[in-house]
Structure 1
Amino acid sequence: MLQCPKGFGVRQMLTLITGMVECLCFAGIVFGWASLVFILKTQGFFGSHCVNSTEIDGSQVLDCRGQDEQLSGVFTSASVMNNFLTLLTGFIFDRFGSFVVRLLGICLYISGTLLLAFSTPALSVLLFPALPLIAVSGRIFLITNIQVANLFGDHRSTIITVLSGSYHSSAIVFLIIKLLYESGIPIKASFLFMAACSIFHVLRTFFLLPRTLIPYPLPQNYSYGFSCGKSEEYVNHSSQTTTDQMETAHEEPVKPEKTFRECILSRFFFFCLIWFSVIELRIYLFIGTLNPALELLTNEDPLLVSQFLNAFAFTQLCAVLCAPWNGFIMDRLKRKYRDRGMNGREAELNSTIVSLFLASFLALVFSISAAIPVLLLQYFTFVMQVLTRAFLQGTLAAFVSVAFPPCHFGKVYGLIVTLASAVSLLQYVCFVVVESLLDGDPLYVNIAMAVLVLFSLIHPVSVFLHCRRLASQQTQQVS
């Protein structure tokens, strides 16, 4: 049994709780873009791109498709940079540890919130660097918090999904800013307050997180953070060696860790990349085009659009409630497979199959629902989008943590997310196709997205066949 220093349990819980708060209130706020863009359009950001056009009956109408295109470009740049720079932050995380990468994230976060605070319709261009800076800093906060799950042993998968769910629920922050704006509080005051909240990130970095990484499995006598002005990050290597030897004595012989090159050339990496990329593209395209899609379905009724945007933002808060069920499923299956005699690594890999399949299935249902142009059905679409995101991110982090060596987690996770950003660029192409060629009707693009999501099923099938083959080999060896 692990022996932890006095006070470790309290610090452990404080680290988890404050990590949830950080992910919930700061990490994934860019996913509330639909609420923020409503404010930006009201204030006239990129308003110069609206032009008068003549209808067939000779009436004059204001055509703001150019404004929508610019705002869609802002979200596209944020989502792409959010993914693209994850590889770099992953390398920094693996090489220099939590302290350095979090200081970088805090600087990016402060810069992004200040740019948003001081942006005006005349300086609409400031949105292009502001949103990506906030998005990248949020991803850094998520990556450095995922390692907190290593402190909780058998509940590791549940903690990973709780933190991922908190990350996605932070879309509610932009809704709160929208409601405050409608109550008379300017968005400048809201974003200045958020910039001031960076002191919270600094305190967590110094007192509740290690300077390097939290190992897994957790060694005996492990401690971290600062105590009485002194840094604590101690690992009893001799105890760790003894523990590892006792564990491996009952399991299969220790195999040399895969190199990073072997990881990225593996079948697991390739199919995981396809799985994550197509589902993420479907989610980003939906969020980025939600405002104009609702305008089409409501005949540009601003009150109805605002009502549905509020409903969408509120449903995002449910991610923090849905995501833990994903982790609970994985942890429960992991214990079940261990009872059958599987070693730890094999049991963990088998436990991810159901979650991988569920993420693909939910994404397919979400895509079909989004393709049906019925206004009231969008409430169901919002729910399915939340469930899809809750299963997607949590399952990705859990799968990468068990399918690849822990020393490469940051790099492999970062490379998958970075390469997915190249696919995410297609969302802007799809938006232009909808506006230019389909006269604003996204029906055919949504149908194409539903078909594309079917390819994500390749990954869970591949993992299932791999685990089945391993089980067959072990059965043959025993017989």
Structure 2
Amino acid sequence: MLGCLSGARVRCWLTLASGLLECLCFAGTVFGWASLMFVLKTEGYFSNLCVNATGSNGTHYTGDVKTLPSSPTDCSGQDERFSLVFTIASFMNNFLTLPNGFLFDRFGTMVARLLGISLYTTGTLLIALSHPETSLLLFPALCFIAVGGILLLVTNMQVGNLFGTHRSTIITLYNGAFDSSSIVFLIVKVLSEGGISLHYSFFFLSTCSVIHLMRTFILMPKKHIPYPLPEGYTYGLLSHRYSAPPGLCGRMTCGHARPRIVDQARKEENKGPLQGEGGTETMTFQLMSNKQTPQTVSFRQSVLSWFFLWHLVWLSVMQLRHYLFIGTLNPMLNRLTAGDPVLVSRYTNAFAITQLCGVLCAPWNGLIMDRHKGRKRAPGETEEEADLRSAVLSLFLTALQCLLFSICATTPVLSLQYLSFALQVLNRSFLYGGNAAFISIAFPTSHFGKLYGLMMALSAVVSLLQYPCFSLVKGVFDGDPLYINVALTLLSLCAFIHPLYVCIHCRRLASQRRSSTKQLANGGSSSSINREALQDAVDSS
């Protein structure tokens, strides 16, 4: 018995560790675009868009040798084309999460992962086979890498369900690893500077898909990992072959199984107001569990709730700020360094290296939520309420980080950009980890894939504004991003609405709970009092 439980724990930890490495090395590589763009510029991609003072092409080829003209060149057209590549890739990364979320909810993990692996492999192969003459291949290649990577992340986040008490920490850890995977393109840049071809690097990334396939069949479920875990839950390649009772050899449980909270609440409710353990407080808890559990909320109700709307605003304004910063980093550094390629390379490397810290920063967000949730509950407070209460501080800190990051990025001081890099990676890791964690807390687990996908898709539509913003900077403001940065800084203040709303909602629930408990103590009708109060709370959210 002990040996079996120990083996099950090893299996769960292997799933956790391998998923972390997968997200760290592959899932979010597209956000290392600044490093890859540096290599692509050096290789001459879109160089035909550079023009010199006479108006002719700024770069031309003689056989296999690239030559640069002696006269000054204007490569704003090249920068704009690279910006368009990243804009479309980042849009597809988020927008296609919607159909992918439906696919994940409907067909399960295996189908979603096989699609993601196929897309990712196709994208890396397209770059491996591309050349400056076929620069347009970058458009589909980056899109495939982005969409395939986000599918790997979505299927991995459910691993947090295996570790119930640390669920938020693991979800945020995976999102931090997703952010840190941008370091892969820095490695490609360093290898390119060391003489290893860009094409060889991407051929290697393509062959790594064998690892993803092995993990799909051995260490991941065919469908989904439920939450809470039912008794005798199994997953993996051979799990369907076992039929022993829970706890016996072959049953891949990750510790003691937990009964479903909703079913338990419904059973206890039937005992009557004074038959459960704990008297009126227990009855209040039971009715709140039955009424408040997110599992009773439909997909349509979730989408039309204020929670969804304000969370969308919270995510969209901060994501737009980050995307514009990443997409315009190279021209911004060129402007601040007066075009010094050595300084541009140094700051690009510094930015990419700081991205590696995302995997270290993200778990702090989950720890904040899990620790805050662990505070002693008020009488009758449900687990759902405790989850929401724990999310308020996380949502507020994320919005505050974005404001500070935007202020630093707006200030045109080169040395200050080191601080911008640090705040950017901290905020990004909090943003995406907090986004996934909040959706898993505030909405039904059965709708997670669809809601996560819809949230990312709608925020992707907003993120398309980055390209007109870039064009506006290049055209109207003659390359000076100050006014656009100031506007985005002011826009980021809208992110504070969400934590304020959730805080007010939690206070309203607490007030109604205290009022209901007081009326129960005075002999009121427990069923009618609690149901009316709780219905008001549900409607308000």
The interval holding the TM-score normalised by the smaller chain is over 0.9
* Partner secondary structure for residue 296 of structure 2: coil
Question: CA offset at residue 108 of structure 1?
Answer: 0.2
For 2:224, the equivalent position in structure 1 comes to 213
* Partner secondary structure for residue 252 of structure 1: helix
For 1:123, the equivalent position in structure 2 comes to 134
CA distance in 1, matches of 2:379, 2:145: 45
User: Could you tell me whether the CA contact under 8 Å between 1:364 and 1:454 is conserved in 2?
Assistant: yes
Change (3 A) 1:12 1:234: closer
1:379 to 418, 425, 437: 418
Please tell me the residue identity of whatever aligns with 1:268: F
* Partner secondary structure for residue 323 of structure 1: helix
Q: Indicate yes or no: 2:158 matched with 1:110.
A: no
CA distance in 2, matches of 1:369, 1:342: 41
For 1:252, the equivalent position in structure 2 comes to 286
Q: Indicate yes or no: 2:199 matched with 1:188.
A: yes
For 1:362, the equivalent position in structure 2 comes to 401
CA distance in 2, matches of 1:349, 1:411: 20
CA distance in 2, matches of 1:301, 1:21: 36
Question: CA offset at residue 158 of structure 1?
Answer: 0.6
- Please give the residue correspondences for 1:71-90 in structure 2 after superposition, counting only pairs within 5 Å: 71-90=82-101
Q: Indicate yes or no: 2:225 matched with 1:225.
A: no
Please tell me the residue identity of whatever aligns with 1:94: D
Question: CA offset at residue 227 of structure 1?
Answer: 3.3
* Partner secondary structure for residue 7 of structure 1: helix
CA distance in 1, matches of 2:101, 2:251: 21
User: Could you tell me whether the CA contact under 8 Å between 2:11 and 2:252 is conserved in 1?
Assistant: no
User: Could you tell me whether the CA contact under 8 Å between 2:230 and 2:260 is conserved in 1?
Assistant: no
Deviations 1:394-437 (A, max 9, x none): 11111000111111011011101000111110000010001111
* Partner secondary structure for residue 178 of structure 1: helix
Question: CA offset at residue 252 of structure 1?
Answer: 2.6
Question: CA offset at residue 338 of structure 1?
Answer: 3.4
For 1:462, the equivalent position in structure 2 comes to 501
Question: CA offset at residue 241 of structure 1?
Answer: 6.0
Question: CA offset at residue 14 of structure 1?
Answer: 0.3
For 2:350, the equivalent position in structure 1 comes to 311
Change (3 A) 1:340 1:313: farther
Question: CA offset at residue 12 of structure 1?
Answer: 0.4
Change (3 A) 1:380 1:355: same
Change (3 A) 1:162 1:191: same
For 2:536, the equivalent position in structure 1 comes to none
Question: CA offset at residue 242 of structure 1?
Answer: 7.2
Deviations 1:237-276 (A, max 9, x none): xx87677544563533323611111111110011111100
Please tell me the residue identity of whatever aligns with 1:205: T
Q: Indicate yes or no: 2:105 matched with 1:94.
A: yes
Please tell me the residue identity of whatever aligns with 2:7: G
Question: CA offset at residue 5 of structure 1?
Answer: 5.8
CA distance in 2, matches of 1:242, 1:355: 27
Q: Indicate yes or no: 2:188 matched with 1:149.
A: no
For 1:449, the equivalent position in structure 2 comes to 488
Question: CA offset at residue 301 of structure 1?
Answer: 0.3
2:330 to 261, 266, 291: 291
* Partner secondary structure for residue 375 of structure 2: helix
Question: CA offset at residue 337 of structure 1?
Answer: 4.7
CA distance in 2, matches of 1:340, 1:26: 45
* Partner secondary structure for residue 73 of structure 2: strand
CA distance in 1, matches of 2:235, 2:209: 22
Q: Indicate yes or no: 2:49 matched with 1:41.
A: no
Q: Indicate yes or no: 2:423 matched with 1:412.
A: no
Identify which range, 246-255 or 270-279, moves more after superposition: 246-255
Change (3 A) 1:281 1:4: farther
For 1:27, the equivalent position in structure 2 comes to 27
CA distance in 2, matches of 1:303, 1:438: 26
User: Could you tell me whether the CA contact under 8 Å between 2:229 and 2:259 is conserved in 1?
Assistant: no
Provide structure 2 residue ranges, at least 5 long, that are not aligned to the other structure. 56-69, 243-249, 269-281, 519-541
User: Could you tell me whether the CA contact under 8 Å between 1:5 and 1:222 is conserved in 2?
Assistant: no
CA distance in 1, matches of 2:182, 2:32: 4
Identify which range, 5-14 or 313-322, moves more after superposition: 5-14
Please tell me the residue identity of whatever aligns with 2:137: L
Question: CA offset at residue 343 of structure 1?
Answer: 1.6
Provide structure 1 residue ranges, at least 5 long, that are not aligned to the other structure. none
Deviations 1:8-65 (A, max 9, x none): 211100000000000000000011000000001111100000011369xxx9520000
User: Could you tell me whether the CA contact under 8 Å between 1:4 and 1:221 is conserved in 2?
Assistant: no
CA distance in 2, matches of 1:73, 1:244: 48
* Partner secondary structure for residue 338 of structure 1: coil
CA distance in 2, matches of 1:230, 1:426: 52
For 1:178, the equivalent position in structure 2 comes to 189
* Partner secondary structure for residue 119 of structure 1: coil
CA distance in 1, matches of 2:202, 2:265: 50
Question: CA offset at residue 320 of structure 1?
Answer: 0.6
Q: Indicate yes or no: 2:448 matched with 1:392.
A: no
User: Could you tell me whether the CA contact under 8 Å between 1:154 and 1:331 is conserved in 2?
Assistant: yes
Change (3 A) 1:421 1:4: farther
Moved over 2 A (4+): 3-7, 227-235, 239-253, 337-342
CA distance in 1, matches of 2:298, 2:476: 47
Q: Indicate yes or no: 2:372 matched with 1:333.
A: yes
Please tell me the residue identity of whatever aligns with 2:235: Y
CA distance in 2, matches of 1:16, 1:261: 32
Structure having the higher Rg:
2
User: Could you tell me whether the CA contact under 8 Å between 2:357 and 2:425 is conserved in 1?
Assistant: yes
Q: Root-mean-square deviation (CA), in Å?
A: 2.0
